[in-house]
Amino acid sequence: MGKFLENAWYVGAWADELTDKPVGRTLLNQPVVFYRTADGMPVAMLDRCPHRFVKLSGGEVRGAEIMCPYHGLTFDAAGTCTHRRVNDIARERFTLRTFPLIERYQAVWIWMGDPACADPDLIPEFKFFSEPGRMIAGKGLTYLKGNYMLEIDNLLDLSHLDFVHAKTISNGCVTEGQYDVYQHGNTVHSDWFIPKTKAPIQFQDLIRLSKDPRWTATQADMIVDHWLDMRWDAPGTLFLDVGVAPAGTDRGGPIDMAQAHWVTPETEFSTHYFWIYSMTDVGQGQDMLDLFLRVVHIAFDEEDRPMIEAQQAAMGTIDFWDQHPMILAEDAGAIRARRVLDKLIREEKSGRNDVSAAEPVSELTGSG
């Protein structure tokens, strides 16, 4: 399986990708076929017919079963071959591996490790999906040719906004702010706070529309307190609260875009990056939502992705640590995440992994 944490939930697909048309996707080096049965149940199984190894994702869903496109063998949702030409001995011997799935937060979460450990409570919480006063405003899936930890690095070190996204989602202020890192158990927080700054452009539109009286004075000068609070859980589950409040109000009357970023390795050198975001509902119309989604696509697909792919190409296949990277204060979140993940993988490989184990609280503060 390579250098991946197996006993963990990964996002394998968007819930609305799963229909009666099979979807083939490689996750952690394993080919997986997803589909939805006629009863609406999501299914994930090894995407490899045991007969002559054709991908079942090229086949057809029939009720609860999937049929191989080559010689028509059928498999039920438990991976058992149901075809009449197959005898009981072969049926038992060639049952396909299926993977535990949970549908939550508009996504399908898949457990690639020991099914007995697949506890749904281990999926980190994303409250914004059900908070009043906000709307889910956009989502996407970015495929990139780079190791998944490079994408996680990118998300945990948002100083790159001032450079990579200077023309789209940044006002260039992030690196003037204060940076804080702290850790609760295996959860790493990597936060920026920028007081008294001009609101980033996408927030200016929302501020202008806000009817909240706390925003009235700010609507003229757009000077705000701005934060970007990122939370990471192993292996690739990130929550970002990025928002603004009238300057000096201690985050009173916030307008924010709570987001989820879910990073799933395809192989050691390629990644499926799922992202979804919400917005405070200030009565923005569909045109504004569409425009913002286009900007986000540019940011992730045309700004982050080429940077990460170029980074991977420059690094080649040599391990990150073996390249002796320079470490800056604002890398602290990303470095902590790497250490936590390395530890969890080491423990898993040595059989000591308790997937719910928490470490003592520890703190580290970077300079602003």
Residues lying near Fe ion in the complex (CB under 5 A): 304
Q: Which ranges constitute the DSSP H helices of 199-331?
A: 201-209, 218-221, 286-297, 305-315
Nearer to Fe ion, 225 or 304 (CB): 304
Least distance from ligand FES to the Cβ atom of residue 74, Å: 9
The distance of Cα 319 from the centroid of its chain, to the nearest Å, equals 23
**Residues at the contact surface with ligand FES, assessed by CB under 6 A:** 49, 51-52, 54, 68, 70-71, 73
In angstroms, give the least distance from the CB of 50 to ligand FES: 8
Residue 158 binding: pick among ligand FES, Fe ion, none (C-beta 5-8 Å cut-off by kind): none
For ligand FES, which is the closer residue by CB, 70 or 129?
Answer: 70
Q: Which entry of Fe ion, ligand FES, none binds 304, CB below 5 to 8 A by partner kind?
A: Fe ion
Instruction: Indicate the residue type of 272.
Output: H
CB of 89 to ligand FES, least distance (A): 17
Distance of closest approach, residue 45 Cβ to ligand FES, in angstroms: 13
Task: Decide which of ligand FES, Fe ion, none touches 70; Cβ closer than 5 to 8 Å per partner kind.
Answer: ligand FES
Q: Within 10 Å of residue 315's Cβ, how many Cβ atoms?
A: 17
Tokens of 57: 């994702």
In the complex with Fe ion, the residue whose CB is nearer, 167 or 251, is 167
Task: Give the residue with the Cβ less far from ligand FES, 74 or 190.
Answer: 74
Measured CA to CA, the distance from residue 184 to residue 333 in angstroms comes to 12
What size, in residues, is the chain?
368
Minimal distance, residue 284 CB to ligand FES, in Å: 50
Q: Which is nearer to ligand FES, 54 or 209 (CB)?
A: 54
* Helix (H), strand (E) counts: the chain: 8, 17
Shortest spacing between CB 61 and ligand FES, in angstroms: 15
Beta-strand ranges (E) seen in 145-222 are 178-184, 187-198
Question: Smaller CB distance to ligand FES: residue 71 or 294?
Answer: 71
Cβ neighbours for 285, distance < 8 A, ≥ 6 positions apart = none
H or E element in which residue 246 lies = strand 237-246
Measured distance CA(54)–CA(48) in Å, rounded: 6
